[in-house]
């Protein structure tokens, strides 16, 4: 009963809830966004193929540059583990984002959520925010840090 009430509260009011709080995984919302090169990326194209790390950020966020660098540092290992990395800039102009990417030499794909619809659909309440999605399309982690010590267990089911 209490689990059902928590699930209804989380879904109804879009409160920040960690996946599994109500006893079941939350399916990731599908989206279609353009990257900085204007190529279209659809999240569902990864389902049943590979896990995905979404990183929600902005250029004005004081913590985002260090997290973008941290993500850059683990990117090679993530790609070796066959995990896709998509950094989603929320609500900013492409030129501003492009200048930022060049300044920080980001290796992974950067998507533009110009109207913040995707950011809102994931109930992102602050930046930076990581969302880890397993191959089945379920959100298995959502927080302000990357879970380096346990990402393989969360995304690859390794012990």
pTM of the model: 0.84
Whether the per-residue pLDDT at 15 is higher than 70: the answer is no
Run of H or E residues at 34: strand 32-35
Q: Looking at residue 116, what is its pLDDT?
A: 97
Tens-place pLDDT, residues 37-60: 999 999 999 999 999 999 999 999
Whether the per-residue pLDDT at 77 is higher than 60: the answer is yes
CATH for 23-156? 3.40.30.10
Asked if residue 128 has a cis previous peptide bond (ω within 30° of 0), the answer is yes
Burial, 54: exposed, middle or buried (Cβ in 10 Å; 0-12, 13-18, 19+)? buried
φ/ψ bin of 82: left (φ > 0), alpha (ψ from -120 to 50), beta (otherwise) = left
Tens-place pLDDT, residues 81-121: 999 999 999 999 999 999 999 888 899 999 999 999 999 99
């Amino acid at each position: 009963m209490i689990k059902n009430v928590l699930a209804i509260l989380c879904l109804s009011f879009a409160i920040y809830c960690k996946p599994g709080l109500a006893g079941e995984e939350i399916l990731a919302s599908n989206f279609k966004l353009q990257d900085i090169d204007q190529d279209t990326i659809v999240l569902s194209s990864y389902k049943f193929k590979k896990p995905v790390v979404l990183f929600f950020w902005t250029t004005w966020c004081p913590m985002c540059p260090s997290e973008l660098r941290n993500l850059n540092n683990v990117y090679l290992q993530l790609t070796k583990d066959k995990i896709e990395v998509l950094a989603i800039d929320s609500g900013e102009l492409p030129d501003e984002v492009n200048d930022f990417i060049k300044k920080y030499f980001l290796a992974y794909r950067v998507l533009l959520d110009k109207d913040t619809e995707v950011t809102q659909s994931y109930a992102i309440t602050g930046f930076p925010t990581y969302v880890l999605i397993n191959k089945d399309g379920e959100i298995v982690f959502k927080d302000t840090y990357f879970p380096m010590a346990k990402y393989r267990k969360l995304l690859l089911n390794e012990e």
